[in-house]
Each structure stands twice: as structure tokens, then as C-alpha cells.
Amino acid sequence: MIERIIHLSVRNKLVVGLLVMALIIGGIYSLQQLPIDAVPDITNNQVQVVTVSQSLAPQEVEQFITYPVEVAMSNIPNVTEIRSISRFGLSVVTIVFKDNVPILEARQFVKEQISMAEEDIPEGLGSPELMPITTGLGEIYQYVLKPKPGFEDKFDAMKLRTIQDWIVKRQLAGTVGIIEISSFGGLIKQYEIGLDPLLLESMEVSIAEVFEALSKNNQNSGGSYIEKATNAYYIRSEGVLKNEEDIANIVIKVRNNMPVLIKDVGKVGLGSPKRFGAMTMDGEGEAVGGITLMLKGANSSEAIANVHDRIEEVKNSLPEGLELYPYLDRSDLVTNAINTVKNNLLEGGIIVILVLVLLLGDLRAGLIVASLIPLAMLFAMIMMNLFGISANLMSLGAIDFGIVVDGAVIIVEGVLHTLFTLHVGKKLTQSQMDGIITEASSKLFRSAVFGVFIILVVFIPIMTLTGIEGKMFRPMAMTFSFAVLGALLLSLTYVPMMASLILKKKIKETKSFADRLMDGFRSIYRPTLEFVLKIPGLIIGTSLLIFLAAFMLFRSMGAEFIPTLEEGDLAMQMTIQPGSSLTESINTSSKAEKILLENFPEVEHVVSKIGTAEVPTDPMAIEDADIMIILKEKDEWTSATGREELADKMKEKLAVIPGASFEFTQPIQLRFNELMTGAKTDIAVKIFGENNETLKEVAEEAASYIKDIEGAGDVKVEQTDGLPQLVIRFNRHKIAQYGLDIETLNTLFRTAYAGASAGVIFENERKFDLVVRLNKKGREDLNLNQLFIDLENDNSIPLSEVATVEYIEGPAMISREGARRRINIGINVRNRDVASLVADIEQTLAERLNLPPGYNIKYGGQFENLEKAQRRLSVAVPAALLLIFALLYFTFEKIKYALLIFTAVPLSAIGGVLALWVRNMPFSISAGVGFIALFGVAVLNGIVLISYFNRLRYEQGMENIREVVIKGSLVRLRPVIMTATVAALGFLPMALSTGNGAEVQKPLATVVIGGLITSTILTLILLPVLYHLVNKGIQRPMIKKAASIIIFLGITMTTQAQAPVITLEEILENAIQKHPDLVNGQLEVQRQELSVQTARELPATDFNFELGQMNTNLLDYNFSVDQSFGNPAARKSRKELASANIEFSQLELIRQQRRVKTEIRLAWSNWQHKNQKLKLLEEQFNLMQEFVDKATVAYDAGESGKLEKTLAENELLNIQRAMLY
């Protein structure tokens, strides 16, 4: 099959050329369609349920909202985790599904259960809603609205927020790829009636009466229509409130024949609701902005481009003096990451091309192999588009062109070897060249195919990875496999065709620079090889010691989940004293922004997001802030050389701010950590228990121990307490005495202090809430004497008659996971690996921390991900090794050869471990994937050597194992060095890259480069030694016709009887393969089968080029391509004749096989008989020889006569004659 494809490709060059052109067009089209992002989206498959209840404390939020939602969600199938946060006025429940559950199906499940949960949530406490379908990579574009210089007084916080909500947000809505626009900061505009408690009392008006009057005086209606003459007039009434004056003149009640108006008991004006979040920028005070949230699964590059286009439209509609400034644009990170990939691929490709040309010694051959690189990549692009794989740092960043073209290198090098070995000095015709290329490519393609299959097989376990590591590395494995598979198909078709067309047909004897270079290598390698063959024990022992040393070194290395991606910006988490006001948070964040801008020239902008946004994707308290530090390009940094150093220096400068703590991370990393594990730090120590106060005490004690551990940075206990609360306690006896109820009282103080909506005010398309609450002065203190309750007898009493106020400190937040309360201790890793740090934390807490009964500790964050990934790798790595060994065994059909080649695995692991150690890199999942890829590549050199050793022995008849090893190693030195060199150097730019995102690729590239260096060196030294050691006692069988067919087939007959045992079945099997008559019969069958193929084939493509004075005196040229298709009927007849010839040759082959088997069985029987007879004669000879010796002694002693001695000697002579014949 393979030979036929190669033959057809070489004959039909035009067809192959057209197919390659189609590949190029399809690849370019697919490239334009591919989604592009910086990194894969590793967010787990989750749905968030948010319930806003602005009047409830955390205890009530947990009891009345969070718990019912959790219970309802626990019945959903395929859920892996349920966790929740209960804050003042807000409940967020996160339901994590298995990755194979479609997100829309998951949301449908949750939506159905929400309807059940609503039945258990008391009326008026909020309605659960689903969060937008977005992920940790969803915040692709963040911006602020800034007044231009000179226009600062024109835009206050309320006006900016109104512009954001009703101009910017509305125009961005509907952008393709965007699911939501979340507003942040400013004051939401409301029409407010600020009631004066004293005026209410003097006018004998209650808040309930005000609320009722507003609701009755703000509506339109209609009266159908009336007919007049030929017209119909439709009736409508306009009673909606339009402005502040309309509101102020509403009558509440009539008192002493005088109407009491709204303006008599309060002030009507613009207000805003209680804020639970704010935004500041560059130390200049409050700002207003927005966050665009990308739809999960959308093409981020297209979504960002769509946002950019829409933003340009928005800018044109902004009021004069206002500008929209994007402070965080994902396109910057995407561009930098893709540039890193492009540079690595381009540099790697150039290095591979140079090495190929240098070592092949033929520019044309090097260019043929080099041209495979873009074609294989285009094939990969087509497959990526079909399988929905995005182009990002991981999917494209790990492609090594050296590995991709390994198969083509083997074929082209073999073709050149054939040409310069067998055809030197000849000038070949195109037909002869086609035949040579076809034959050489067919012989070598098996090794090339097997090598490619080895590489593909080792990536199968990577494709089975799940979780975060699956999302990171499965696209990489698939893309790499696509490129290798494309290169294999092109090596089968394109490479032979181009070789026959482009390679020089006049083979000169001159040596190229590559030949001289390889001669130099061989001059060093040969004496080295001859020397090590003399000391196999020392070589093997030394290799084992090196491997054991590397293994011990590996065990001492630390481990981390995945190297942190350098995003180019910093995210700082600020926390101030629990219970602090929003104003205090704004002032503190502004101070921090000023300090950073004044002390660090690297900082371009600083934007703080305090508390919770309109869409609470990140529900924080008002004393918490996420501060985005936008940095300049790294080559402009002066204060520090790296991110960790810069963060430490910033933390030192910020230490002057009292009562504030700061933690540093990066924007995307922050969101990933929070969404995946519920924590914003690298490590989360989770303590589970029942009582919030006990949990806090245990966590504080544990944190005090953790702070002393090296590498533990930003140790912070989750703030769960310290929320100041004014608790209204009711006197139920008096409530009953006055005929009141709790609901009425709750509604009263909730309306007075939080406000309640009494309708809406429309301004054209815009609508704003109409809210009733106490005025600002009345809300400054919780004074129950200023609130009056209407009784049924038309009297009223102050609220203080039935209630008292008590000050307490309550929980600020209640976190739950797995239906249990928990508290987190957040830890960021500083200059240390995650695994060893967690091991020290575990040991320290086990020795020093006494947990109460029913309380336990779990570890989350990156460590949790690392543990899961290590468990999966513990299955994936052995599976890859087993698959490699199985393929080796099935190929060589002998365990010893499979084991010999398999030694490349530990040999390569030595270099991988040493390379990580030299570069001070801990083991990570990226490095683990590198080891898996390395094992597949490393065995290729072993396959090249062992295959050629066996060819020398079994096809060319070399008997001396030492000569086989030396000759085979020297001949295959070039492809071994070439494949290893191009594979290693192809990863070199990736290993040395300093661009954005290179951190994730470095461990993988480092492992492969280091492993290939050691495996190549030790393979060229240790593998020949092992091959020589296991085969040196085996002699090649002598070929003698007289000893009949058995001797020809493999039985060595010597008087020493030292030949290895062989059975009749093995002889028969060997005969089928090697008997001259049967070999000729098989060749005849193949010849007839080829004639069938020839009957089907199109005639060869002819290229003609003429240059000269053909038609005129002017120089003329003519170029033509001829492709004939023949007579279909004639082809059918030829095909039928060829099929009949095949059947005849197959029958003749079967007849010959039966004849040979009969002759073998007869010869075997005769040989067995003669062998048995020979054994008996040998026994008789030994006995008679002993008898002769004794007769001689007796004769010499005079104890017997000469006759007895003579008879014995004659009998011994007769036995000898019988043995000879």
C-alpha cells in the first residue's frame, strides 16, 4: 500500500502538486477562521446563582437564601462542587459541573432548581438569578470615563454613571461575542423623597402614607376610543410623574381641611441608593467605568475587535469634554503572547532549516525538508479549525519543527545515501530517478512511519487528561499530532515527488562540507565506540549510577502546578479594617494609587475596584478592593527586573498606610484562582467547622504558624467577622398589645433607612427609580423615636415603644463548601515551589495546631490542582511508556530488541531532570508533559540504530556482531545526530524566550532539549554496547546445499554441537520467508499485483521545456505539461488480465510452498534419524575407546594377549568409519 502511494506520487507529479496547492488554500482559509487567544480558558464548568437582598445581614442571607439554594442545587446530576458566599445583602452560590456537561444544559438544570428554591425563600427577600455565561478570561476590555482637562466640573459622579448606563453600556450591548457590560463606580441616579422625621411628626404623616400617595399618583391610563364623524379618537390619560415639581405637589392627606403635600414633609431631589462599590483611578478620586464580559466559548480576538469597533462609535456619541480610556485591554496580552509564539516558531524553523542544510550537505534536499514545515502547519490549521481548537500560547507554542520533519529527514537522508553510494558518477534520467526515489523511499518509510506513530502514541495519554491540565495541554497534544500527521502524509507523497523532481540527477563524487563534517564526527566516534565495546560492564554500570543519581535528584526537586504566566500587569488586593466605610476605602485606595505612581516610574495607571460591581462576578465587601496596576513595557522598568521583585518593593512602600494589607498577583491569575477554587491566592488552607467564631480563632492561630515558613507570602485569614451591626430587637409583648406585626415594623425601618421604590420616572427612554427614604440627616443615626407607626385607632406611636437598638459585631461573610461552613487562609508562593511549601505547612499545622472535634483542614488553590494533575500523570506516563513498548515489540517481534530501544526512556529522563535542575526549575505539569513527549522522540534514535543493525545481519549476511555494531553505528551516525539536533534546536527559542507567556513553555522545552542531549550521547554509546552484549554469542547459520534445505534455513551442524535449538515449525516459517523458489514466487505475485496497479494508473506526467530560435530569429521558449488519461475500456481489459495472472501466480506460489514443506519434513526426518544414530555411535566410540585403553594397559602388564588388544582396536576403527559415513 505504501509503495503504491509513493509510486503514484512520483509518477503523477501534477496531481500531487494540485493537492498541495489545495492544502495551502485550505490552510490559509482555516488560519483566518481560527479563534485566537493568549492562553486556553481553564475555568471549570460552573454556573453562579446570585441573589441581591440589600437589607439582610450575612446570617440572614445564609439562613433564608443561600441554604435553600444550596439544597435545591444538590439534586442536580453531574455536579462536582457547590460553594457559596453570604455577605451583607448578597448571596453567591457557585455550582461546578463536570467538564463534559454543556453549559446551556447546566444552566437549564440550575434554572429549574431555582424555581424550587424560590418557594423556600421568604417573600420580599430577593429572587435568585443566573450570572452571565462568562469565564475567568471573560473580562476582555475594561475602561473608565474621564473628563478632559477643563471639563472636570461639568461631570460629577452621578452624571458620569448615567452616561455609562444609558449611553456607553446600551451602545456596547449586542456586540458580537459580548454577553454583558458591568458598570462600576459613580452614583446611580434616582429621584428621591428625603423625608424629614420632624416634619412627618408635626404633620402627623407616616412613611406608609407617603409611599401610598406616590404609588397612586404616578400612572397613565386609557379609555378606549370615541367616534366623531368619520374619525376615531383614542383616549389616554397622562398621570405619570415627569419632574421634581410634579412629585413635590402630590397630596398625601388632608389635615384640617388643608392638603399636606410631599414637599411639606420632605425634600424632593436627585439621590442615589446605598453603594456597595466604587472605582478610583490614579489617586485622583472616584471614577466611573465598565467591564465587558465575553461570552463563554466566543472567539476572543473577534470579540475584542468587535468591541474596538463599537467603542469608536461610542466615542462619537459621548458628550463634549468626555473621553473613554481603556486601562485593561486583553488584545495587548493576546498580541504579546501570539508574538511570542510567532517568534519561537520562526526562530525554531530557521534553526531547523539551517541544521538540515548543514548536515544533509545538499541545499535542494534541505529545502525539500524545510518546505514541509509550513505545509505541515497549514494541515494542522485545517484540523484545528475542524476540531474547534483555538490558536494560543499552548496549542501552538509547543510545536517543534525538528520533530515534525523527523520522518522526512529519515527519507531524504536515505535517498541521498542511496544516490551517493550506488550511483556516484552517473547522470540519471528522470525515469531512473523516479525508480530510485520510489525504491529508496519505500524501504525507509517503514522506519519513518513507525517513528511518527511512536510520537503520536505518546500524545494519546495527554489527550486523555481532564481538568485544568487537560484544558491546558490537550490542545497542544492535538495540534502537535495534527502537524506530525500532516508531515507524515506529505512525506509519503510530496517529499518523494519533490525529491525526484528537484534533486540533482548528475551525482558527483566530490564531498560536501556536511560529508567532511560527518567524517570528522566519525573519526572521533569510531575509536570511542571500539573502546567502549571492550568495557561493557563499566559502561552499563556507569549509566545505571547516573540514572540513579538523576532519580534521587528528581525526588529532591520541588513541584508546582503550572508556571505563572507573565501577563505584563499586576493586580493588588487591598483590605482595610472590617466595618470601615466606603468613603474610607476610597480614601485608602487613592493614597495607595498616589504612592505607586510617585515611586515607581514603571507604573502607567492604577485603577481600584472597591466592593461589588453591578454584575457581582467578584462579590467583595466595601473594605476590599482589587487594584489593577497597569505597567509599561518591561524594557522600560528601572525599579526592578522581575515581577516578584517589583511586588516586594511596592509592598514596602505601601506599608506606610495604616490598617491596610496588600497582596499581589495578576489580573487573569486573580480571576482564575477565584473562579476555580473560590480563593484568590496560590494556596488556600481551608478549615471546615460549624461555628464561625471558632473557625476564626483556629484560622488566626494557624496563620501565625504559617507566617514563619519560608516562601509563604501574603498570609491572610479570610475576613469573616468584625462587621458592626445595629440590631433592632422587638418587644413581642408590646407588639401584641398594640396589635402590630413584625412585617409592618420591618417594612417601616427598611424603607426609612434603605429606601423603597414607589415607582419610576421616565426621561424619554431612560427610567429612574422613585425612592422614599429619610433625608441624609435622618439616616445618620438609628433613632427609633423619629419613626412612627400608625395604629388602627388613628393614633401613632414611635418605634421605640416596641423595639430597642443594640450594637454588636457580627459576621462579615459566611463561606460554605460542600454544605459546610469554612474559612480560608490565603497564601501566595514567594520564590519557592508549591508542593514543598504545602508539605511544610502540613507538617507545621499537624505538630502545633489542635483542631476541635468535628473540624478538619483541606488544601486548595494551585496545590489542589497539582495533586489532581499528578494523579492523572501517574496514569498517563505509564500508559505512554506501555504503548511505546508495545509498539516496539510488535515491530521487532523480539522482547530483547524492544527492551534495548526502551533504554532510551531512562537515558532521556536523565537529561530532562538535569536540565530542570541546572535552570533551577521545579517539576510542573508543563515539565511532565515535556517528559511524555521526550520519551516518544528519544526512542527514534534507538529505532534507527537497531533497525540498521538487523538489516546488516539478516539482509546483508554480516555475521560478526562487532562489525555489525561498528558499521551500523557509523553509517547511521548522520540521521541519529540530525534527528536529535533538529528536535532539540527546534525547542531552543522556546527554552530561551523571554516574551509574554514563555514561562509556561520553558519547562517543557527544557526537558526535551536536556533529554535529547543525554539520550543521543548515551544511545550512541550504550545501545551498541548492549546490542553487542546480547548478540555476540549468536553465529550466523552456514549455507550449504548438501546438508539439504534444513542447513540453508538455519541449522548449523558442527561436531561441537553448540548450535542453538531450532524446531521444525521455525524451519518451516523461515523457509516460507527465505527459500529462493518461494522468494521468487512472492516476487512474481508482487510483480503481477503491480501490473494491476499499473493498469489502473494514469500515464506519467511529462514536463517539456524548449529554449531557442524556434519560430523566428528571436529567442523563444516553450513550456508544456502533458497528462494523458488513456482508453478506459483498454484499462479495464488490462486490469482483468492482470487479475487472472495474479491468481495464477498465487496458486503457483501455494504449490511451491507445499513442495518445499514436504522436502523440509523429509529432510528433517532423515536428519533426526542420522543425528540419533550419530549420538549412539558416539556413545559406542567412547565405550570402545575406554575398552581399548584398558586392553592396552592389560597387554603391557602381561595380563592379556595381543589378540584381545587387536580386536578391540579393529572394533574402534569400525565405529569411526561408521561415524564418518
Q: Let me know the angle formed at the C-alpha of 188 by 186 and 193, rounded to the nearest 5 degrees.
A: 130
What is the value of pTM for the model shown?
0.71
- Note whether 199 and 106 are same-domain residues: no
Average pLDDT of 968-975? 84
Which residue did the predictor score with more confidence, 771 or 430? 771
Give me the pLDDT at residue 1053, please.
31
Residues 939 and 1067 in one domain: no
- Claim to verify: residue 1057 and residue 1199 sit in the same structural domain: yes
Q: Does the pLDDT of residue 1123 top 60, yes or no?
A: no
Of 1012, 1035, 1058, the position where a domain reaches its end is: 1035
pLDDT of residue 69: 93
> Do both 976 and 1079 map to the same domain?
no
E strand segments, 229-356:
231-237, 251-255, 258-261, 266-271, 277-281, 288-294, 322-329
DSSP 254-271: EETTEEEEHHHHEEEEEE
Contacts of 280 (CB under 8 A, 6+ apart): 185, 286, 287, 586, 589, 590, 593, 607, 608, 610
Using CA atoms, how far apart are residues 557 and 994, in angstroms rounded to an integer? 24
pLDDT of 711:
84
* Residue 980, pLDDT above cutoff 60: yes
The pLDDT, as a whole number, for residue 1185 is: 76
What does the pLDDT read at residue 627?
A: 92
Tell me if 1058 is assigned to some domain.
yes
CB 300 within 8 A of CB 189: no
User: Residues 65, 66, 68, 73: is their CA dihedral positive or negative?
Assistant: positive
Using alpha carbons, select from 880, 840, 894, 903 the residue that is nearest to residue 710.
840
Q: What pLDDT sits at residue 259?
A: 92
431 CB-near residues (< 8 Å, 6+ apart): none
Nearest to 698 by CA among 840, 852, 804, 580: 852
106 pLDDT more than 90: yes
Q: 11 lies in a domain?
A: yes
pLDDT in tens, 888-940: 887 777 888 888 888 888 888 898 899 999 888 888 878 887 887 788 777 87
Q: Are 250 and 262 in contact (CB under 8 A)?
A: yes
Is 1085 in the same domain as 1182? yes
C-alpha span between 1067 and 1062 (Å, rounded): 7
For residue 1047, what pLDDT is reported? 32
Same domain, 449 and 369: yes
| Domain final residue pick, 757, 783, 810 | 810
Q: Which domain holds residue 1154?
A: 1044-1220
- Looking at residue 258, which CATH number applies to its domain? 3.30.2090.10
Q: What is the mean pLDDT of residues 749-771?
A: 88
Number of domains in the chain: 5
| Nearest alpha carbon to residue 300 among 135, 478, 422 | 135
The pLDDT, as a whole number, for residue 1096 is: 55
Q: Is residue 383 part of a domain?
A: yes
Residues 112-120, mean pLDDT to the nearest whole number: 90
Residue 1055 confidence (pLDDT): 34
Over the stretch 36-45, which tens digit does the pLDDT of each residue have?
A: 877 777 788 8
Highest mean pLDDT among 509-518, 642-651, 985-994: 642-651
Q: What is the mean pLDDT of residues 873-900?
A: 81
Q: Provide the pLDDT for residue 113.
A: 92
For the cut 70, the answer to whether the pLDDT of residue 1113 exceeds it is: no
* Tens-place pLDDT, residues 224-260: 889 888 899 899 888 888 899 999 999 998 888 889 9
pLDDT of residue 785: 78
What number is the average pLDDT over the span 129-147?
87
**Gap between the Cα atoms of 410 and 979, Å rounded:** 8
Give CA–CA dist 137/579, Å, rounded. Answer: 32
- Could you read off the pLDDT of 1033-1092 as tens digits, one per residue? 544 333 333 333 333 333 333 333 333 445 666 677 666 666 676 677 777 767 666 665
Q: Amino acid identity, residue 649? A: K
pLDDT band at 599 (very low <50, low <70, confident <90, very high): very high
Rama region for 1137: left / alpha / beta (φ>0; ψ in -120 to 50; rest): alpha
Which of 671, 594, 604 has its CA nearest to residue 633? Answer: 604
17 & 100 share domain: no
Say if residue 11 is in the same domain as residue 49: no
pLDDT value at position 589? 93
CB-CB neighbours of 20 under 10 Å: 18
pLDDT of residue 907: 81
CA–CA gap between residue 200 and residue 264 (Å, rounded): 9
Render pLDDT for 698-725 as a digit per residue (tens, 0 to 9).
999 999 999 888 888 888 888 888 778 8
User: What is the predicted pLDDT for the residue at 1116?
Assistant: 57
956 and 1000 part of one domain:
yes
Last residue of one domain, picked from the residues 810, 837, 854: 810
Element (H, E) at 806: strand 803-810
C-alpha cell at 1: 500500500
In a shared domain, residues 1152 and 1011:
no
Predicted confidence at residue 379, as pLDDT, reads 93
Q: What is the rounded radius of gyration, in angstroms, for the C-alpha atoms of the chain?
A: 43
Q: Are 187 and 161 in contact (CB under 8 A)?
A: yes
Asked if residues 880 and 737 have their Cβ atoms less than 8 Å apart, the reply is no
Q: Are 393 and 466 in a shared domain?
A: yes
What is the model's pLDDT at position 29?
A: 92
Is residue 82 in a domain? Answer: yes
- Mean pLDDT of the residues in the chain: 82
- Is 841 within a domain? no
Contact 379, 486 (CB under 8 A): yes
**Does residue 172 surpass a pLDDT of 90?**
yes
DSSP bridge pairs for 570: 629
- Closest-CA residue to 125 (of 75, 59, 70): 59
Contact 185, 279 (CB under 8 A): yes
Percentage of the chain beyond pLDDT 70 is: 88
Q: How confident is the model at residue 505 (pLDDT cuts 50, 70, 90)?
A: confident
CATH number at residue 404: 1.20.1640.10
Q: Quick check: 607 pLDDT over 90?
A: yes
Residue 848, in any domain of the structure: no
Q: Model confidence at 796, in pLDDT bands (50, 70, 90)?
A: confident
b/e code 483-500 from CB counts within 10 Å (16+ = b): bbbbbbbbbbbbbbbbbb
Q: Which tens digit of pLDDT belongs to each residue from 929-968?
A: 788 778 877 787 788 788 888 888 877 777 788 888 898 8
- At 1113, list the grid cell: 530569429
Backbone angles phi, psi at 277, to 5 degrees: -165, 160
Other CB atoms within a 10 A radius of the CB of residue 517 amount to 16
Same domain? 1075 vs 962: no
| pLDDT, average across residues 520-547 | 88
User: What residues have CB less than 8 Å from 438, skipping those under 6 apart?
Assistant: 3, 6, 7, 10, 496, 500
Position 450 pLDDT exceeds 80: no
Closest CA to 629 of 659, 612, 654, 658: 654
Q: Is 970 within a domain?
A: yes
Higher-pLDDT residue of 727, 1188: 727
* Residue 759 falls inside a structural domain: yes
What CATH number did the domain enclosing 53 receive? 3.30.70.1430
Q: Which set of grid coordinates corresponds to residue 308?
A: 474596538
Give Cα separations from 397 to 28, 30, 294, 343, 476 (angstroms): 19, 18, 24, 10, 8
